[in-house]
């Protein structure tokens, strides 16, 4: 069974640039969620994708957007990067959306640094 994978591992960008982060879900999982974790904080929910559609969103501006593909992999896009976007970005996959018992399993994360 393949776990959740993310790429790239690390990324350095400058303010105003755009970035795309990628995630492959665990084998058999059809739902992907994205989280932002600032240093010393718990992860914050960005949004969730199911059947290629956004299925719930946290308090993040529209410059944070995403995609889910037919193979359940996903992308997180961030436009007009700001210094405060520097964080560990985590992807989590789960078996079925809306089900009471749906553990979310996390990938290793992408460390984004905005200069």
Partner 1 sequence: EDQVTQSPEALRLQEGESSSLNCSYTVSGLRGLFWYRQDPGKGPEFLFTLYSAGEEKEKERLKATLTKKESFLHITAPKPEDSATYLCAASILTGGGNKLTFGTGTQLKVEL
Q: Can you give the binding site for partner 1, defined by CB under 8 A? A: 4, 6, 31, 33, 35, 40-45, 48, 50, 54-58, 88, 90, 92, 94, 97-109, 111
Q: What is the DSSP track for 3-25?
A: --EEE-SEEEE-TT--EEEEEEP
B/e letters for 18-38, b = 16+ CB within 10 Å, e = fewer, are ebebbbbbbeebbbbbbbbbe
User: How near is the Cβ of 95 to partner 1 at its closest, in Å?
Assistant: 11
Q: Are 31 and 94 in contact (CB under 8 A)?
A: yes
- Judged by beta carbon, residue 18 or residue 39, the one nearer partner 1 is 39
- Judged by beta carbon, residue 33 or residue 74, the one nearer partner 1 is 33
User: How near is the Cβ of 87 to partner 1 at its closest, in Å?
Assistant: 12
- Judged by beta carbon, residue 90 or residue 114, the one nearer partner 1 is 90
Q: Are 39 and 63 in contact (CB under 8 A)?
A: no
User: How near is the Cβ of 69 to partner 1 at its closest, in Å?
Assistant: 18
């Amino acid at each position: 069974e393949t776990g959740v994978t993310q790429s790239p591992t690390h990324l350095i960008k400058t303010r105003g640039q755009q970035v795309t982060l990628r995630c492959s879900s665990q084998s058999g999982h059809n739902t992907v969620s994205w989280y932002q974790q600032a240093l010393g904080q718990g992860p914050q929910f960005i949004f969730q994708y199911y059947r290629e559609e956004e299925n719930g969103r946290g308090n993040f501006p529209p410059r944070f957007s995403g995609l889910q593909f037919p193979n359940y992999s996903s992308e997180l896009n961030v436009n007009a990067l700001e210094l405060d976007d520097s964080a560990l970005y985590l992807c989590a996959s789960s078996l079925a959306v809306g089900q009471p018992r749906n553990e979310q399993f996390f990938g290793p994360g992408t460390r984004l640094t905005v200069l």
